[in-house]
Amino acid sequence: MNSHAGPWNGANAVAQSEAPMIDPFGRAITYLRVSVTDRCDFRCTYCMAENMTFLPKKDLLTLEELERLCSAFIAKGVRKLRLTGGEPLVRKNIMHLVRGLGAHVHAGRLDELTLTTNGSQLARHAAELADCGVRRINVSLDTLDAEKFRTITRWGELSKVMEGIDAAQAAGLRIKINAVALKDFNDREIPDLMRWAHGRGMDLTLIETMPMGEIEEDRTDRYLPLSQMRARLAEEFTLTENAYRTGGPARYVTVEETGGRLGFITPMTHNFCESCNRVRLTCTGTLYMCLGQNDAADLRLPLRASEDDALLSQAIDEAIGRKPKGHDFIIDRRNRPAVARHMSVTGG
Ligand code: SAM
């Protein structure tokens, strides 16, 4: 079922007719992440400051404009699209966009439409997400302890996230749990988190904390190299290398004792830029060609300058032509964050 009448349904339907996007290092860009809002109903301490200044609503692209931008990327060879934020499910009427993008999945123009969510609003939306063509989602969850959950998210309620996970599984969505590994916060709990996730048929991926945006604390205090975490886990579990890939940066092992998959996203200890296939669009139409660099391209101007996509397509090509080789995150006490923007601007 698709009741959506988006800009590509009918006369303007997109075909994947344009030349593929290849960056200066020969990498094909096939994966677009779209931050649909910079706002979030949580304030995870490693992600945001408590008092954040968010974008004025008037600066946001409309959902129709975001659809048009996404369809331009799909026409240029994007096969996987992830909605993120901020919290994507707090953007008003977000399901209109999901339904519109889902039409690309149903038509075979997109291999995957997915999203990264904190799960707080998932119970309300899970069934509709599945109906729109979403098959798999990432839920960010750093602890199973309700009090610790409240501490790390500042405002979050674990029970709501659990309801969201239940609803998503009931709707047939596959879930990957993403946890940022934080020294002296959740490191000792990771084995339990993993057993729980695997016990429910969910993959678990661990992420290293990245130096993005000023926060109240010093990230160095919480930074935990995943090489250490992996070595600790290997004392308790049998970790077997696994060739499984989702098109993202995670590298997986199978945990023989649980039968589940454990992923590692290691932007700090092992830079995975050589296989980067991604670019990131913000809710204002700014395109970041690398999560860890400041260079960006404004796509709002060419988007609004004309009704056909020629200018937009040209601006995208120019931006891809500037995609850098990679990031050079450094996390230590002497350095300011590598990039000034918070992760909530571009999303995970
Ligand atoms: N609100 C959604 C969520 O919670 O999944 C999507 C946006 S959130 C910014 C995406 C992911 O980025 C979350 O898994 C979060 O834990 C992670 N994240 C936020 N700040 C980070 C940082 N500085 N380093 C590493 N991961 C971070």
In the predicted model, is pLDDT for residue 142 greater than 90?
yes
Q: Whose CA is nearest to atom 21 of ligand 1?
A: 47
In this prediction, residue 346 has a pLDDT band, given cuts at 50, 70 and 90, of: confident
Pairing label, strands 174-180, 251-255: unpaired
CA distances from 323 to 19, 98, 273, 315, 319 (A): 17, 27, 11, 13, 7
113: Cβ below 6 Å to ligand 1? no
Q: Which atom of ligand 1 is nearest to the CA of 215?
A: 23
Residue 319, pLDDT > 60, answer: yes
Task: State the pLDDT confidence band at 17, using cuts at 50, 70 and 90.
Answer: low
What distance in angstroms lies between residue 306's CA and the mean position of ligand 1's atoms?
A: 35
Examine the pLDDT at 23 and tell me if it is beyond 90.
yes
Is the pLDDT confidence value at 3 over 50?
no
Q: Is 40 in the pocket of ligand 1 (CB under 6 A)?
A: yes
Tell me the whole-structure pTM to 2 decimals. Answer: 0.94
Q: Is 173 in the pocket of ligand 1 (CB under 6 A)?
A: no
Q: pLDDT tens digits for 297-317?
A: 999 999 999 999 999 999 999
Residue whose CB lies within 8 A of the most ligand 1 atoms, among 82, 206, 343, 345, for a mutation test: 343
Nearest in space to 144 (alpha carbons), one of 115, 168, 119, 169: 119
Q: How far is the CA of 47 from the centre of ligand 1 (A)?
A: 6
Helices (H), the chain: 63-75, 94-106, 122-131, 146-153, 158-170, 190-199, 219-222, 226-236, 300-305, 310-320, 343-346
Any idea which of 118-127, 150-159, 187-196, 328-337 has the lowest mean pLDDT? 328-337
Of the pLDDT bands very low, low, confident and very high (cuts 50, 70, 90), residue 16 is: low
Q: Could you report the per-residue pLDDT of 184-242, keeping only the tens digit for each?
A: 999 999 999 999 999 999 999 999 999 889 888 888 889 999 999 999 999 999 999 99
Cβ contact 19:316 at 8 Å: no
